[in-house]
Amino acid sequence: MMEQDFLNHFIQRKYFNKHSKVLLALSGGLDSMFLFRLLSKYQKELEIELILAHVNHQQRLESDFEEEELGKLANQAKLPIYITRFSGEFSEVRARNFRYDFFKEVMEETGATVLVTAHHADDQVETIFMRLIRGSRLRYLSGIKEKQLVGDIEIIRPLLQFHKKDFPPIFHFDDKTNNENNYFRNRTRNLYLPELEKENPCFRDSILELGNEVRDYELAITELSKDVDVEDLEQLFTFSQSTQKVLLQNYISRFPDLNLTKAQFEEVRQILKSKSQYHHPLKNGYELIKEYQQFRICKISPQADENKNELVLHYQNQVSYLGHSFSFGIPLEGDSVQQIPVSRETSIHIRHRKSGDFIIKNGHRKKLRRLFIDLKIPIEKRKSALIIEQFGKIVSILGIATSDLSKKTKNDIMNTVLYIEKIDR
């Protein structure tokens, strides 16, 4: 394909009509280097000011050299480039969060209003297929969005309609780790898809068509239900169970960075059906608030609410709170570290005791008041005891007792560990 074809596509789709300052995530691979070439060459035609950002993940010997060369390339093009280096224990989730936190900081500093990434159609095929293997709900099979708002960041993926084979063989850096099969995406790219293409040479096109069809259904449902106030439970419950599920899923899709699992979605449905008033932490900084026949989902701070003296801790996060270090799924080392089996499917609530609290011990409910009396816990320690709560139920009283509910998660495929270390010794 000619460069002009890509430029015409950008102009026709009006990607940058509302944006004058554009931040490009530049990895150094063929896709991002080609997008860099297009956006830098046609800045005037697109009426944009281009800014570059690169994250050195420091996972390969070549990483520092590539960082230096990208800096030189930006200087030659007379474009500003912002570079940072990943630190800490590496994982795909942490690296992704690190990147987007960095991109957000750069956008705030430069005044850029949109982040542009070089995701293409092959990435889309891999993403949809991976979600299919993982058992994701139907709406997630629509794949990556061409335009998306994630938190405060607007993202545009202008190459999503094109395959990697459409890009010319320009200068770029090859990541040799892409040929290794340690990661799920690499196995999908190198093993699973090529094998399935032996059965159906058009398998990739079929996957893309599936994603497009799911997206069409989503748009149709949104249009047909535009007069339905899903947050009004009296109105929602006039529909059949099946329609309620679809309407609720469509409502939750308004929050693209929420990503509830099937179990979490069913938990929300049960709360809406059975609780009169309820505040329930979800994930990624969201909570469900139900007040009689109305509910809403909204953002909350991941830090402690000083009025309620409570903390919401999300998976793969660490925080210091009331003299302890809490780490949800990220190991802490040391003889004094306590480990509590928990599920990674929803956030953890850390708080003090409140009236009516009970814990499941030896198959029976036991009120905390009676438990403290039986264990002869001093009054002051009862007041300061930290309660670890998940799915609205107590899994542990820190340093005092662990619920049967925590023990049961040891055989759950979604199990992980909450690591706790006392830091005010």
| Extents of the domains making up the chain | 3-199, 230-299, 311-422
* CB-based contact 345:268 (threshold 8 Å): no
Cβ-defined contacts of 60-68 (< 8 Å, 24+): 60/175, 60/176, 60/177, 62/173, 66/28, 66/173
Would you state the pLDDT for residue 412? Answer: 54
Q: Is the pTM of this model over 0.85?
A: no
DSSP tag of 177: G
- 364 φ, ψ to 5°? -125, 145
DSSP tag of 261: -
Q: Which residue type sits at 117?
A: T
How many other C-beta atoms lie within 10 A of the C-beta of residue 55?
22
Would you state the pLDDT for residue 302? Answer: 46
DSSP notation for 341-399 = EEESSS-EEEEE--TT-EEEETTEEEEHHHHHHHTT--HHHHHHPEEEEETTEEEEETT
Would you state the pLDDT for residue 199? Answer: 96
Element (H, E) at 81: strand 81-85
Separation CA 218–CA 250 (nearest Å): 7
CATH architecture of 230-299: 2-Layer Sandwich (3.30)
Would you state the pLDDT for residue 414? Answer: 56
CATH architecture of 3-199: 3-Layer(aba) Sandwich (3.40)
In the predicted model, residues of the chain with pLDDT beneath 70 are: 151, 275, 301-309, 407-414, 424-425
DSSP tag of 165: G
> Fold identical between 3-199 and 230-299?
no
Would you state the pLDDT for residue 407? Answer: 64
Would you state the pLDDT for residue 27? Answer: 95
Question: Per residue in 22-48, is it b (16+ CB within 10 Å) or e — as a string?
Answer: bbbbbbbbbbbbbbbbbbbebbeebeb
Separation CA 147–CA 160 (nearest Å): 10
Separation CA 318–CA 94 (nearest Å): 12
Separation CA 153–CA 349 (nearest Å): 27
Separation CA 396–CA 390 (nearest Å): 9
